[in-house]
Amino acid sequence: MKKVKVNNVGIFSLFIFIIIGIIILFVYFIFKFINVDNNKYDVAIGSIYYDDELNYVKTDIKSYLSQKFDGNYYLYQKEKNKTVSSKVGKNPVVYNQSDYKLYLYGNAYQIMNTGDVNALTGVTEIPKASPTKFFKLKDRKYLMVDSDIKTEDKSIKTSGYLIIELDKQGNPTFANNEVNVKSIGQVILKGTTMSFDIANEILIYNDKKINLKKIIGSTNNYKKDDTSKENTDSSDKDSNKNNKNNKVETNNFATEIPYYDNYLKNVINSVNNLSSSANKINDKTHDTVKKGEIYYDFSKWAALKSVTSSVTSITINYSVYDPNNEYQSVFLQVDDNNGNINKMFVNKNETKYVIRELSKDSSYTISFGYTEVSNKEEVVEDVVTVKTKSPSCNLKIKKIGSNYITYNLKIDNEYVYEKGNAVLYMDGVRIDGSEVNMKKASSANGFNGTINYSRLGYMNEISLEGLSYNGTSEVIRCKDSFIGG
């Protein structure tokens, strides 16, 4: 009897153990499911990306990205009426030449100039222009975004963005839309405001050395000398101390324009604080001061911050940093994609320019660039395609009387038609019309009008017709209707 009892206890314990295991697995999969990004992200035709094996892929047809249960993003495309998918990886970086933004997907870590780290999820939109933006994607894999990226020896020079992936000996592979090359040995990669000691995984900003290995760890086996380690540890302590006093509460600065203004302010302050050092630099090498292992970057930049459109205008927000007056000119070039190109020069001391007298509902390609005093060749820094909006129009029937109908019309105050008529139709037959005061229609309260009739039809409609803008006739869909009694 005792032996049977022992066996029963053992079976019961095993059963409990299995139940606990099932519960743990269930909780694990629920947690994984909750953290899956369920969004579908459209990928523009002509975009390029690298998969986890750093294979170059270009999208030639309409596609979208979506994350699966395994945490990887997959690219979905239709082929012969069938949707097929291909694995991209956990951190796709998608680039399109006609877009001034870069798109980073998945969980990543953005390292701020203060040393603070922001955790990112989903999609992060990153302007490709200066100043430097820096991200850790995973163990030994990084992303630098800037208008000017180069190695210290200038053996590699590119712009926009650069993916950096290290092997376990600290040797980097560089990849973007222009390069895909592996380098051997210790390399210093420089942006306009930050430098990256790749083998040691140290990000250098002014007097700070930020140890990137501390962010999710590192399997990098590169060995550095004791002096370098000692300096790094000391700098890390200083960085941590500074972080407590200089918190930046930006969760995702890539989509928030105010961060740029703060960033520029920090850079300018840094330059002013080190002005005595800058004055000692030869004209040919004024953009960089080497002090120990810290690189002070005084380079210039010209970059787009944002582009917004309305019906007949496009507003350009930009930043130009030129402490040594090296830019001869800064310009915008507007291409209406119909063979008409117009160039305009902007003030580098300003931050906004409005391009006016554009056509409604039209696509424009805008190039932002500069010429230098030392080199008259034009350099295009950013290119973006933007579409102007269609004018808004809202017509509402307000009251139906025994022999009249009143209506209210509101039109876009940026696109005011010279004339127009409100026309009443009953069962498809034109009954009557009245002229609209377009100036009042563009006001906040709109224009109130009245149309008379003798008998209602079954389907009754008021439509805005006979429109003219700058002497040209136009047709828009702006109407309201009701069913008669």
Task: Output the tens digit of pLDDT for each of the chain's 485 residues.
Answer: 444 445 666 777 777 878 887 877 766 655 555 557 789 999 999 999 988 888 888 898 989 999 988 889 999 998 878 899 999 999 999 999 888 889 999 999 999 988 889 999 999 999 888 889 999 999 999 999 998 999 988 888 899 999 999 999 899 999 998 888 888 778 999 999 999 999 999 999 988 899 999 999 999 999 865 444 444 444 444 444 444 333 333 333 232 333 344 444 444 444 434 333 333 333 333 344 333 333 334 467 888 888 888 999 999 999 898 888 889 999 999 999 888 999 999 998 899 999 998 999 899 999 999 999 888 888 988 888 889 998 999 999 999 888 899 999 999 998 999 999 999 999 999 999 999 999 999 999 999 999 999 888 889 999 999 999 988 899 888 999 988 76
pLDDT of residue 449: 94
Q: Which residues contact 138 (CB under 8 A, 6 or more apart)?
A: 90, 91, 108, 216
Q: Three-state secondary structure along 165-214?
A: EECCCCCEEEECCCCEEECCCCCEEECCCCEEECCCCEEEECCEEEEHHH
pLDDT of residue 16: 81
Nearest to 151 by CA among 174, 167, 123, 117: 174
Nearest to 145 by CA among 116, 114, 108, 181: 108
Residue type at position 273: N
pLDDT of residue 29: 58
- For 452, 463, 479, the CA distances from 408, given in Å and listed in that order, are 15, 12, 11
Cross-strand bridge partners of residue 464 = 422
Would you tell me how many other CB atoms lie within 10 Å of the CB of residue 327?
18
| Angle formed at CA 320 by CA 212 and CA 289, multiple of 5 degrees | 50
pLDDT of residue 284: 35
Q: Is 81 left (phi over 0), alpha (psi -120 to 50) or beta?
A: left
Question: Beta strand pairing status for 419-426 and 459-469?
Answer: antiparallel
pLDDT of residue 272: 39
Say what the pTM is: 0.47
Instruction: Report DSSP letters for 369-422, one per residue.
Output: EEEESS--S-EEEEEEEEEPPPPPEEEEEEEE-SSEEEEEEEE-TTS--SEEEE
* DSSP H or E segment with residue 218: none
Helix, strand, coil % over all residues of the chain, rounded to 5: 20, 45, 35
pLDDT of residue 305: 81
